[in-house]
Amino acid sequence: MAHTNSTYHDLARLVYKKLTKTNYPQPSESIITHLFENLFFTSLKTEEGQLIKVTVTFIDPADPDPTPPERIVADRWNYIHFRKRIPFTVKNIVKLSKAADPWSSSLAVYYDSNNELFIWGMIDQAVHYQDFLNYETDSGSEQPGLFQTTISDIGSIHVMLDYELIATLKQNTLISNYVDVFRKGTVNKILKSFSEPYKKAIRDYIKKHHKDEDSKDWDEYIETSIIQSLSRILLKTQNYHHGGAFLITPYQKAGLNVKHELSYDRLFRAIVNYIQLNISHYKYSNAIADEFSKDEKNLVPVSLYISENVSEAQKKETSDEIKGAIRFISSLSCIDGLVVLTTDLKVKGFGTVIRSKPLPDYVYVSKSATVRETKISAVSPNQFGTRHCSMFSYCWNNNGSLGFVISQDGDIRAITRVEEKLIMWENIKVQQFIKSERISKPLKIDTQK
């Protein structure tokens, strides 16, 4: 849900009410308001000609790590105290932000007995948190403090509770609900249908190399791999702050003027290879665990041990290959015009212009992942820019196509035709967000004064 004409006061009210559903000590609403007030005005500043981007962790210096895990992993976060506390002011945040890139660290902030905010140190190892959110790794450690808040752009503030995005203020728009189109609903069904070539390749592999394995057990993993790869492409494009568009369609030149035509299928091949290696490694690891771990005298055959280790190393290599292919595809969006992909994510061209086609009378914005009449609202396509209108035109006239448009300000929209309506989803979940276990139940929040 998005509320327009909102301010940092509304953001503070929303976050405060969310925090009341946790069992942790929390600051007053006035302290949270003061925190977001300073961050909002900091976001309007520049330092050395660059916009301010910084993350703040709200964390108590007297008890910064109250419940550490039994085993502390080597890459877990740690806190570093400043010798002197620094007042939490716009000027000080701007200066410190140059030393606290959100991919490296965050500023540790809390309040004193007079309810005055101060910066008392920094939190390191933030790269692993960002890697997990952006699907660069499969796991991430628990997060420090009560919550984290990040300045991502001018007037844009995101608030995270663990790995859950609970609110975003984008200039004057407050967003408290994000549509999970990738994991349920219409877009999810379309992407599942796009996964068939991958499933066929995996079925053939299992039939040849692991006949005792049921290929259907891997269907969900295949679908997830495709969705994550597409999410990573969109996130990487978003980080360019250039805007861009991706059209996934059964490739036909009709209706498209492809300036730079090519055939790039490396992502498809790498994903298939990675899944195959996962299957092999799974089988080798299970064989060792089931047959040799119970009896220490029963030695693991050298060939099986080597096979497991080789498959693990090859998985890492192929994971890096996928990362490189995703970045290659994302970079193509930096040229004006959209990137065209087939339904199995093979790139056919970029710098593509859609030839003029009739627009629908209305575009229907869906507030839920599944299209329901009670959850859609009609808007005129003419209120959007050229990039959006081109995508509207193509998806309306080419049923089965799926488009994604990334605005320069970072908004990502999904577009497709459903029967006789052109549907668009805004405020979609793209990063790897996980519901925080610290919030006891969903909360309906009135953000209006």
pLDDT score for 444: 42
Residue in this structure with the two tokens 């959850």, named with its chain if needed: 375
Instruction: Please name the amino acid found at residue 51.
Output: L
- Determine the topology of domain 185-425 in CATH: YojJ-like (1 (3.40.1700)
| Three-state secondary structure string covering the chain | CEECCCCHHHHHHHHHHHHCCCCCCCCCHHHHHHHHHHHHHHHCCEECCEECCEEEEECCCCCCCCCCCCCCCCCCCCEEEEEEEEECCHHHHHHHHCCCCCCCCEEEEEECCCCCEEEEEEECCHHHHHHHHCCCCCCCCCCCCCEEEEEEECCEEEEEECCEEEEEEECCEEECCCECCCCCHHHHHHHHHHCHHHHHHHHHHHHHHCCCCCHHHHHHHHHHHHHHHHHHHHHHHHHHCCCEEEEECCCCCCCEEEEEEEEECHHHHHHHHHHHHHHHHHHHHHHHHHHCCCCCCCCCCHHHHHHHHHHHHHHHHHHHHHHHHHHHHHHHHHCCCEEEECCCCCEEEEEEEECCCCCCCCEEEECCCCCCHHHEEEECHHHCCHHHHHHHHHHHHCCCCEEEEECCCCCEEEEEEECCEEEEECCECCCCCCCCCCCCCCCCCCCCC
Q: Quick one: pLDDT at residue 134?
A: 87
pLDDT value, residue 90: 97
- Domains 2-175 and 185-425 agree in fold: yes
Mean pLDDT by 10 residues, the chain (449 residues): 84 94 86 98 91 95 91 91 97 95 95 97 93 83 91 94 91 90 95 96 95 92 96 94 93 88 96 95 81 67 83 92 97 95 96 90 95 94 92 94 92 95 94 74 41
pLDDT of 381 reads: 94
C-alpha distances (whole Å) from 61 to each of 47, 82, 146, 281 are: 28, 11, 12, 44
pLDDT of residue 449: 34
Domain ranges in the chain are: 2-175, 185-425
pLDDT at 297 (0 to 100) = 60
The Cα 53–Cα 161 span in angstroms is: 19
Q: What is this structure's pTM?
A: 0.88
Q: Which residues are within 8 A (CB) of 126 and not within 5 positions of it... i.e. 6 or more apart?
A: 55, 77, 102, 103, 104, 105, 106
Q: What is the pLDDT of residue 294?
A: 65
pLDDT at position 132: 87
Class of domain 2-175: alpha beta
pLDDT at 295: 62
